[in-house]
Chains A and B, each alone.
Chain A
Amino acid sequence: MAIGTKPYEWMVKYTPQKEWIDRRGLMLWLAFFFLELGAGTFIVASIFNNLLTMFIGWLICAVGGGGFHLFYLGRPLRFWRILTSGKFSSSWISRGLTFVLVFLVLGGTHLLLALGGTSTLWLMIAADIFALFAVAYAGFALNFISAIPLWNTPLLPVLYTILGFWGGLGVTLLTMLAAGATAAMPNIQVWSQVFLVSFIFIVVIYLLGIRYQASFGKNSAVKTSVREIVIGRWAPLFWVMVVTFGMLLPLAVAINAWTIGLAVPVVFLSAVITLELLGDLAFRYCLLKNALYAPLIPL
């Protein structure tokens, strides 16, 4: 059954969520991406003690993540209510944006102090801990929605966390390639390969797992969601951007590194990393676009 979008099919057929992906909703898709990418980059760069990349990560998180979050809100000037409402105990947006703010404050302070050579390891670790929460936030925010079975699986926070770190490794590699700082690159490439394999593994488990959950009484909307992603309207995006560019191309580069060891030109490597990030973005789009509610009829 195709996704019902006509007005008279509202909640009679599987009905897609639109608020977080259509029109202004695209901003939230980008906000989640940049937030995780930035925080992931900060953590990876801090492990390799690369101040410039840490700053880039911090900036991506603040400007991209924070900015798109703010622009998405219907009432952005009331943003401060998230911090004072006391809803930290139950709302993942409240938790997530609090983590992000604390990370930005701690991370920013660390970067400023590090410039003068006065920052401490403990401050960096504290910033990294909150950056880790920021990486995982979107996965938990989506996972909490029990009405959308595509998201309501514990694998989603794991998947989003892996994506955040994988993206962070990609940005760190890109920065190092641009700066010509190749000393730490082999280590980062190994970690990038580990996260690539983890990403492929989790995506397969995730899609198969939720598809077969439907066979065991779980809301059947998820079957349609997975079908739409894999063989439906969004299949070209999934197979070209996510699988080919996001998985197979980086995997081919990794296999080359493990086996033949042919030297890969910097431009080609940069292009592969950029496509990898676009694959990440496309996968997030598929997940948001194909999130379906079960019909209200039959009762």
Chain B
Amino acid sequence: MRWGMVIDLTKCIGCYGCVVTCKAEHHLPPGVFWGRGVAGEVGTYPNVRKQFLPVLCNHCQEAACEKVCPSGATEIREDGIVRVDYDKCIGCRYCLIACPYQRRTFLSRETMSKGYYGNQEPTELERKGRELYPLQEGTVVKCNFCMERIDQGIEKGLTPGVDREATPACVNECVARARVFGDLDDPESEISRLIRARKARPLHPEFGTDPSVFYIQY
């Protein structure tokens, strides 16, 4: 089993809903984004168009971040999810440097001390968030494909990618239904069929990291 995601750029409307949902789901501090939108222009005048690219951790199977991690904090689970064990991370940031997609964030003291309302006391929601999602200062964080939802869903007999309760928040939220989640190892899963039919490609395969996130391009 290898969990993966397809993002259909022909459907994506660039609403940043996935970015905001991810922040809310994981109670991320200000300035920390596990999912991001890259908006740029491609082509040369007068043939120019805007390109919006939602990015997240690619959960690579040849992950540079996992190889360079000196403490074993970054590991690839059996289901292909690349996770960070915050209790093991020493905060050397070698993984952050090694990621060609730049999808990792270091939680500095400054980042962790900031609340959403400037110098005011953290709100009840923010306090609760820190309890539910105990991020640690001085460690590196990144998208985990909402593995808590996946693990709890599977325990309940649900299917990730099919049942909302077991599916990553960004996939559930996508108003344009541009994101599909599922098992890349199952040739009959929706995601595998979509990759074959629409010739979905990973982001910059030349890096040789074997990503689990695929893009359907224009």
Contact = CB atoms under 8 A, between A and B. Distances in A.
Interface of A: 8, 10-12, 15, 17, 19-20, 24-25, 72-76, 78-79, 81-82, 85-87, 90-94, 97, 141, 144-148, 293-299
Q: Which 4 A-B pairs have the closest CB atoms?
A: A74-B91, A74-B138, A147-B100, A85-B72
Contact-residue bracket for chain B? 35 or more
19 contacts: A11-B102, A15-B102, A20-B97, A78-B90, A82-B70, A82-B71, A85-B72, A91-B94, A93-B70, A94-B71, A144-B68, A145-B68, A146-B100, A147-B99, A148-B97, A294-B100, A295-B40, A296-B38, A299-B217
B98 A145 contact: yes
Given A145-B98, A296-B55, A91 B106 contact: no
B106 to A, nearest CB: 6
Contacts of B40: 12, 295, 297-298
A90 B62 CA distance: 12
Given A12-B38, A295-B40, A87 B204 contact: no
A296 B101 contact: yes
B52 to A, nearest CB: 9
A72 B98 CA distance: 17
B1 interface: no
B178 to A, nearest CB: 15
A73 B204 contact: no
B64 A146 contact: yes
Contact of B90 (A79, A294, A298): A79
B38 A147 contact: no
B100 A293 contact: yes
Nearest to B136: A75
B51 A298 contact: yes
B82 to A, nearest CB: 14
B199 interface: no
A293 B101 CA distance: 8
Contacts of A74: 89-93, 106-108, 137-140
Contacts of A141: 94
A299 B140 CA distance: 27
Contacts of B203: 296, 299
A73 B64 CA distance: 20
Interface string B78-122: 000000000011111110111111100011100000000000000
Contacts of A94: 70-71
Contact of A146 (B51, B137, B201, B208): B208
A2 B107 CA distance: 28
Report which residue of A86, A94, A297 has the largest number of chain B beta carbons within 10 angstroms of its beta carbon: A297
A93 B94 CA distance: 8
A35 to B, nearest CB: 14
A81 B102 CA distance: 25
Nearest to B31: A7
B207 interface: yes
Contacts of A24: 108
Nearest to A96: B70
B67 interface: yes
A94 B70 CA distance: 5
Nearest to B99: A147
B90 A147 contact: no
Given A73-B91, A75-B89, A91 B53 contact: no
A19 B53 contact: no
Nearest to A145: B98
B19 to A, nearest CB: 13
Contacts of A10: 36, 38, 102
A52 to B, nearest CB: 33
B88 to A, nearest CB: 6
Given A19-B96, A91-B67, A91-B68, A293 B102 contact: yes
Contact of B70 (A75, A91, A294): A91
A2 B137 CA distance: 33
Nearest to A293: B102
A14 to B, nearest CB: 12
A8 B36 CA distance: 11
A103 B209 CA distance: 34
A75 B139 contact: yes
B98 A97 contact: no
A106 B137 CA distance: 35
Contacts of B150: none
Interface string B150-179: 000000000000000000000000000000
A78 B88 contact: yes
B215 interface: yes
Contacts of B208: 146
